[in-house]
Every structure is written in structure tokens, then in C-alpha cells.
Structure 1
Amino acid sequence: MHILFLTDNFPPEVNAPASRTFEHCREWVKAGHKITVITCAPNFPKGRLFEGYKNSFYQTEEVDGIRVIRVWSYITANEGFVKRILDYQSFMVTATLASPFVRGVDLVVGTSPQFFTVCAAYVVSRMKRVPFVFELRDLWPESIRAVGAMKDSRLLDWLEKLELFLYRKASAIVSVTNAFRDNIIARGADIKKIHVVTNGVDISRFKPREKDVALVRKLGIEGKFVSGYIGTHGMAHSLETLLDAAAKIKTMPDGKRHCIIFLGDGARKADLKTKAESMSLDNVIFVDSVSKDEVVKYWSLLDVSIIHLSKTDLFTTVIPSKLFECMGMGIPVLHGVAGESAGIVQKEGVGIVFEPENANQLCHGLMALSENKALYDKYRANAMVGARNYDRSVLAGKMLDVLEVVAKGH
């Protein structure tokens, strides 16, 4: 089977869509299938080309047996609604134009978060007269409303109609959460063609390891109880809560032993750094994004991982992929996300759930994990066991089963 996969994020980018797509495609190649990925030149989230790449109209490479075609797109940082829409739409157009050069395709997969990529997948599938599969990673444009990036308008209403159109036209929909599935069923999507394949973890890479001694020295965190947030610093994440917690924990007994690392980039990072300086937070360390190979070294520094999203109903449907990476590394979690993902934390017994945007609860959780060794060790052990339930190679096989049924049906 020849699968054509359209995605605007792919390694060496290190965000969740890039990792999921690459790890799934790698497993499908191992299973004997031919995979072609159309993507753009790597630039997320800073909106700057990665070293060694050009933003040209058509360039190819091979990555672990995957044929990768990179096309031109309008590059901008992960901030500003209008510029980001131009980014998404430019990739939609150039990905569609590149598709005729890919021959013998059996089906087309398009992945969100934003669905202009999925629009291209639908158009390409019609051009090639093959089925298309919608991989649903986010309820877009609903997430635009949730973070206040754009006020309610006729444009958002039109985008929602386009979203529903794509659900109808897809031969299958692969949702990353049960909550997403329930949401789109309630809005008229056909339950028979919806399949849930959650995010997971590459347990061959994300596994327990000793703290990286060189990084410990470089960051000056010897003897510290280190908590951290690793990921995008965006409007959806309300990371100001972590800064407020850092300020509070300084006043607590043994608070000087704590430090919080922020690793990543995004639209809010500059403001977060400015706020931390204004609050004189000497227990906070900001680190820019690092490569996929380097990020595991930074995970190793963490005694506790903090996962956080804004307090809004939409995010109760989200399962942050970093949860599974924490589990693979055996790192207990302080989980500030309500809903389905909180249920996983509690079911697997891998950490403490706190109310989103509640700095007091976050502080109490940090103190509990730093002071109660038995509790900490229990969560750590549970995380390593629970990670096996979200092995990316198994989940890739589950999605491949869906794709094979669609291709055979056509």
C-alpha cells in the first residue's frame, strides 16, 4: 500500500504532530508499506528555517525509509492569527500542487490541528480518485474561540461549516481522543467511520535515565528538586500560573530547594520571561527549544513534569502528548488539565491532578511530591508500567489497520 501523508509539521521539528506522524510512518514502513510525506521546510515554532534547509518550492529527502517532499510555505512565527492563516493556506496550495508528482497512491491522509492541510488532502484524494482519511488532532476552529485568538464572527462560522464538510467527505476519521469523537458525533459525524487512536510514546527513546550531569552543572541546579514544563509556550497554556507558583513556593519551608525549568518557544515566551524578571524569580530557568535528540536529556533533569492548559471547557477534550513521554521517562506528573487526560493520570496512578490556573494547588502538589518519598516512588513506578499501554508502535499498528480497511474498501 502507498500512503500519501500531508502534514505541515515533521522532524526535525519536535512538536507533537511532527513526532506522531514520523513515528507512525516509520512503523508503517517497517510493516512493508510505501510512505510519502508532503510537508514544509522545518520552522516551527520560531518561524525561522532550521539550519541546512531552504524554503524552496520542491525538495526531497529520505528519512528512515520515508520519502519526504518539502514544499514552499509562507513562514511566520507561531503567533498572530492572520499570519498563521496565511502560513496554513500557503501550505495547502503548494502541497496540492506537489501531489501530482507522487504516483501510485492508494489513499491520502491529512492531519490537523488546523484543517487547511486536511482540505489539501481532500482535494488531492479527488484528483487521484482515492479515499482520504482525516486525522483529527484538534477541534479547530473551536480552539480559536477557546483561546480568544479571534472573536466570534461569520468567518469562524464558515470555517466550522468547512470542518463539518471534511468530516462528511472523509472515508475514515482517526481521532486522538474519545472526547473529540463524542464532540463530532454530536455535530452529525458518522459514528461508524470514527476510530480513536490516542497519542503515545516511543518507549525505545523515552525511558528512565540518570540526570544529565553536564546539563545539571550548566544550569546550576545541583541539589535542586527540579520541576519543569516542556513544550509550546502559547496562548492556550496559561503558563503564568507556573510563575505564580514559583513565587509562592519561594516563601514555603524548604522552598529554596525548588526550581522550575521552562523549555520551548511560542507566542507567550517573551512575555513570560519579562514577567519572571519583574517578579524577581531566581528559581525559574528558561531554555530555548532543542533538537529531538537533545530533548530527552532535558527530560532527564526533571523530578516532576508540569502539564498545564488554560481553564476552558474545550481543553477537557485534549490529551497532551507530553503526558505519555513523562510516563515513558518514569517522571511523576503534576497535571493541570481537566477532563479525559486527568482521567488517564488518575487511572494509571502517575501523578497529582490540580485545577487549571490554580497556583496554590500546584504549589501543594510540588511540596507533596518533594517531601513524600513513598508517594513519589509509587507514581514513578506506575508511570513506567503505564507507558506500555501507550506504546507508539502498537498504536501505529492500530491506525494502520484502519487505513488498510479503507484502502481495501475502495
Structure 2
Amino acid sequence: MEEILIISNYYPPEKGAAANRIEQLALKLYQNNYKVSVLCPLGNYPKGELFSEYKGKFSVTEKLQNITVKRLWIYPSVSKNIFKRTLSVLSFASVLFFYLLFKKTPHKIVVQSPPLLLSFVSVLVLSLLRKKIILNVSDLWPLAAIELNALKKDSFSHRVSLFLERFIYSKATLIFGQSDEIITHIHSIFPEKECHLYRNFPDHQVAKMDLVANTNEPIKLFYAGLLGVAQGVFELCQNIELENLNIELHIFGDGAEKSQIEELIQQNPQKKIYFHGMLERHILHEKLKTFDIALIPLKTRIYGSVPSKIFEYGALGFPVLYFGGGEGETIVQKNNLGWIASVGNFESLNSALITISKTGKSEIQTMKPAIFESAKKNFNLDFQIKNLIQKEVF
């Protein structure tokens, strides 16, 4: 059985799309006769503190669904203080550097990027050791940081980030990009670099669920995920207009904007927004059976970014209201997955909600089987993995 290692900054029991997609990759490789191991930090995300089972430990080795997971020490933080955030990244990067340098690792290694510094450290050491490096690029940094106003263009940090970005692209044996835009960007820098499209599809068979309809209830729109800067859920809650529509918005998740969202809801009960906190994945899916439409927002259009929730909720049979711009709009329209609103344009969003309210709950229910079948055909993780294996990528 051939060995392969995956290096990632996130892995379950941590929450979020990043942890979920790395887990799916690991499981699918195992199912295709690879011996898979994962190297990641001690669990701490999204709250920025070590989970109780990892406190007081420098490293932990676990066996999760036949995947060997090696967790290394990190100083966790999601603080807005730049010093603490930098210290957190450097802590794991330092431990990772020495681990890769002195511990035996397989020849084939998948490196997740971003975070940019961690992928740089990994690629630096692995290139010196002449490993086969498969760089899995899910977002374009530092470009995304500029678009999110998290980094100032032409600043010292920006120039350093550009150096790190070009280094990892140049040293990678081959690159996965989660969108056509990512691949286009990489080829604009290194035209000859071998790149493959690798979408963040869910495991469709695991995701299948029986949706329940109660036509006497309002249309239930839901957001489930991280409540951070990139998603802009707090600003969305401020500007969404549901008062005169037969629609409710339900929010599931955790993150930096949680307290602001809770306070807004408490002070404005007329907005028909309900917060449910963070739920375990299987509990969340059970709860969502009675819901109608998945809301997928981004605060701004991020070049190269395609939220994996498009594929996840399509695989569950949910229509989506996409409010993120970019390549995601094309995917929603091409596959008839629901509605789109122009990113950052709340007039466009509220206009789409009026259309949804007029569409009615009964017609929305009839959309679900067609969306499920479309996702089953077009968002197939098994086919994607097998196709890459046939090309001898792994």
C-alpha cells in the first residue's frame, strides 16, 4: 500500500470547510488503497484555544477512520492583535519545520495552502529532501488578503507574501487549484507548471439526506458556517430585509462576529433572524432537513475563491442563494442551483429575496430532487479522485 502524507493547518474535530475538505481527501485516498497520514496542529479552531483533549500536550497521534493523524504543538490564537496571531502561526511553523527535517516522511506529500507561511515552510523542507510535493491551493494569497483589506498593497508584508507565494509555486511538483481562476493565476506566473482542477466536492453518498417539507411554515433560509470577516454575516444581518416577506433567516456557526450577531438579533426581533450556535455536523444535517434554501455569502468578491458550500448543499439537495460573486456565480447558474445576488449589493440581495418569497415554499420543494441529481452527476468526489489517480497525479 503506497504511503501519502497530507500537511494541513486544519483537521477534524476542528470545524469549517478547510478541515472538512482535507478529511474528505484523506478518506478518499485511503479508500483507493493509499496509506494516509495527516500532519496538523493540536485542535484549536475556530475558538483559538486548545480543545480539552489536547491541553497540556506537545504532540498527539490518533487513528481516525483509518487515517493516522499526527498533531503538533501550537500557541493558538484568533486574537485581532497582529503580534499574537503572528506568534500563533510561527509556533506551529517552527515545530513543523523541525519535524519535517528530522522525521521520516513518505515520498509523496500533499501540502495545503493557505496558510502561506506554513505551506512555505513545508515546501522549503520537502524540496530540500526531494519529495514529490502536491500543492493544494484553495485560495490565492496574498491576493485574497488585499481584496479583503487584510493586507495593504505594496507594503513590506505584501512583498514578503508575494515572495512566499512564488516560491511555493516554483518548488511544487504539481499544483491542485480549487477553481479555474486559481489555475489561470498560477499559469500567469509559471506558464509551464503542471496544474489540475480539484474542486472541494463533498462525499455525495455520505451527504444524502431526506428533506422534510412543511408548507404551512415560512420559507426557511439558513447560513451554516464560520462567522468571520470573509463571510460578512454581521453586515448581511444589518442590511437584509425580511420583515414583509414569508422568509426567516436561521444562522448556525461560530466565529469572530458571533457576539455582534447575537446582540443585533436581540435588539431587532422584527428582523426574523434566529441564531442557533455551532452544532456537530451530523446534528446540523438532521436539523436542516426541515429547511429550504442555503445562503452562501462572501463580504467581497475574492478572485479564485469558490465556497465549498455550493457543492455541499447541492449534494444535500438544497437550492442556494449565492451572494459571493466570481466563479461561484457561474457554477450556480450553469447547474441551476438557485438564485444569485451581486456580491456586496444588498439591494440585489433583497430583490432576490422578494423573488424567492413570490416563488413560494411548494415550488422550492420541487427544485430539490433536480438539484440533488445535478450535484450527484456534476459534483462527484469519487470520479474526481479516480480521474487524478489514473493520471498518476498521486
Whether TM-score is above 0.5 comes out as yes
Query: Deviation at 1:55?
Result: 5.5
Distance 1:191 1:379 in 2: 43
Distance 1:102 1:353 in 2: 48
Alignment partner for residue 343 of structure 1, among 318, 324, 330?
A: 330
Alignment partner for residue 221 of structure 2, among 222, 227, 236?
A: 227
2:220/2:293 contact within 8 Å kept: yes
Say if 2:199 is the partner of 1:242: no
Per the alignment, residue 108 of structure 2 pairs with: 107
Query: Deviation at 1:56?
Result: 2.3
2:24/2:202 contact within 8 Å kept: no
Per the alignment, residue 368 of structure 1 pairs with: 355
1:55/1:71 contact within 8 Å kept: no
Find runs of 4+ consecutive structure 1 residues off by over 6 angstroms.
none
Distance 2:218 2:390 in 1: 46
Query: Deviation at 1:125?
Result: 1.4
1:28/1:400 contact within 8 Å kept: no
Query: Deviation at 1:343?
Result: 0.4
Say if 2:5 is the partner of 1:4: yes
Query: Deviation at 1:212?
Result: 11
Per the alignment, residue 394 of structure 1 pairs with: 383
Structure 2 matches for 1:256-405, cutoff 5 A? 257-281=246-270, 283-312=272-301, 315-373=302-360, 376-377=364-365, 379-388=367-376, 389-401=378-390, 404-405=392-393
1:176/1:196 contact within 8 Å kept: yes
Post-superposition CA distance 1:253-301 (Å, at most 9, x none): xx3x422111112222222333333444451112222223223124324
Q: Which amino acid aligns with 1:381?
A: P
Q: Secondary structure at the match of 1:52?
A: helix
Query: Deviation at 1:227?
Result: 0.5
Distance 1:56 1:351 in 2: 46
Distance 1:276 1:395, change over 3 A: same
Distance 1:323 1:340 in 2: 11
1:369/1:375 contact within 8 Å kept: no
Q: Which amino acid aligns with 2:16?
A: N
Q: Which amino acid aligns with 1:322?
A: K
1:57/1:94 contact within 8 Å kept: no
Distance 1:211 1:13, change over 3 A: farther
Structure 2 matches for 1:56-205, cutoff 5 A? 56-77=57-78, 79-99=80-100, 102-103=103-104, 105-126=106-127, 128-152=129-153, 153-186=155-188, 188-205=189-206
Q: Which amino acid aligns with 1:342?
A: E
Structure 2 matches for 1:43-54, cutoff 5 A? 43-54=44-55
Structure with larger RCO (C-alpha < 8 A, sep 6+): 1
Query: Deviation at 1:79?
Result: 4.5
Q: Secondary structure at the match of 1:231?
A: strand
Distance 1:190 1:61 in 2: 40
Task: Give identity over the alignment, percent.
Answer: 24
Distance 2:283 2:52 in 1: 16
2:213/2:365 contact within 8 Å kept: no
Query: Deviation at 1:115?
Result: 1.6
Q: Which runs of 5+ in 1 are unaligned?
A: 214-221
Distance 1:334 1:282 in 2: 18
Q: Secondary structure at the match of 2:237?
A: helix
Query: Deviation at 1:308?
Result: 0.7
Distance 1:15 1:400 in 2: 26
Distance 1:65 1:185 in 2: 36
**Range with greater deviation from structure 2 (143-152 or 48-57):** 48-57
Distance 1:355 1:272 in 2: 22
Distance 2:52 2:109 in 1: 30
Q: Which amino acid aligns with 2:171?
A: K
Q: TM-score, normalised by structure 2?
A: 0.90
Per the alignment, residue 218 of structure 1 pairs with: none
Query: Deviation at 1:226?
Result: 1.0
Q: Which amino acid aligns with 1:239?
A: V
Distance 1:180 1:55, change over 3 A: farther
Distance 1:293 1:204 in 2: 14
Distance 1:192 1:166, change over 3 A: closer
Q: Which amino acid aligns with 1:197?
A: Y
Q: Which amino acid aligns with 1:383?
A: I
Post-superposition CA distance 1:80-112 (Å, at most 9, x none): 444333222222221232336753512222102
Q: Which amino acid aligns with 1:294?
A: I
Q: Which runs of 5+ in 2 are unaligned?
A: none
Distance 1:401 1:135 in 2: 18
Q: Which amino acid aligns with 1:385?
A: E
